[in-house]
Amino acid sequence: MQDFSFMTTEEHFLLQDALKKNKKQVTKFVLIGLGLMIVAAVVPQVYLYTHSTAEDADQSLFSYTNGWFWLWMLSFIVVLVFALIKVTEVRYFTIKRDLMALQKGTMQAPLEAVYHENDDTQTNFMVMLPNSKRKRLFYWTRGALSDYRAGNEVEISYARYSRVILAINKV
């Protein structure tokens, strides 16, 4: 059982900054996704109706009058949603929950893996939980931390639900 304590004002502001960065990332990806979806829906229509007769265009698989086109568009949207989840590491709702609960946890454990994401604006740490064989991923959202390597023993202070790291120190 993990004990949690209340965050300080500084840690609260750090978590608000993480929420702001995550929201920007989600917004950017949604706009890119909408742009790609519009291109995927409009370009085939324009090409079909300018390079063939209306009857031939209506018979095509890429015509908006064909059910296969709508199946393809639905598949495209589903792929975009999963790409949003994978690419942005969406923690928006858990960060908001942390801002309401204001609870943080502290642990001391060895790092299993360290990797950088999102153009080196985020560092992720895989940690083996003490007294168990389970691993957890923790997120440093304030840039790349290059001083930490797998095997280092660290003390991590983190937001309870989102596991955004508020402070990390080598032991």
Task: Determine phi and psi for 156, rounding to 5 degrees.
Answer: -115, 130
pLDDT attached to residue 88: 63
List pLDDT tens digits, range 94-147.
Answer: 888 888 888 888 888 888 888 887 667 778 888 888 778 888 888 887 777 778
Q: What burial letters (b/e) apply to 47-81, b meaning 16+ CB within 10 Å?
A: ebbeeeeeeebeebebbbeeeebeebeeeeeeebe
- Quote the pLDDT of residue 1: 41
Q: What is the pLDDT of residues 25-44, one digit of tens each?
A: 778 888 888 888 888 778 87
Could you tell me the residue ranges of all domains in the chain? 4-93, 101-170
What are the CA-CA distances from residue 84 to residues 36, 89, 93 (Å)? 13, 8, 14
- Written as six digits, the tokens of 81 are 């949603």
Element (H, E) at 156: strand 153-159
What are the helix (H) ranges across the chain? 9-51, 54-59, 67-88, 92-101
Q: Report the predicted TM-score, pTM, of the whole model to 2 decimal places.
A: 0.65
What topology does CATH give the domain 101-170?
A: OB fold (Dihydrolipoamide Acetyltransferase, E2P) (2.40.50)
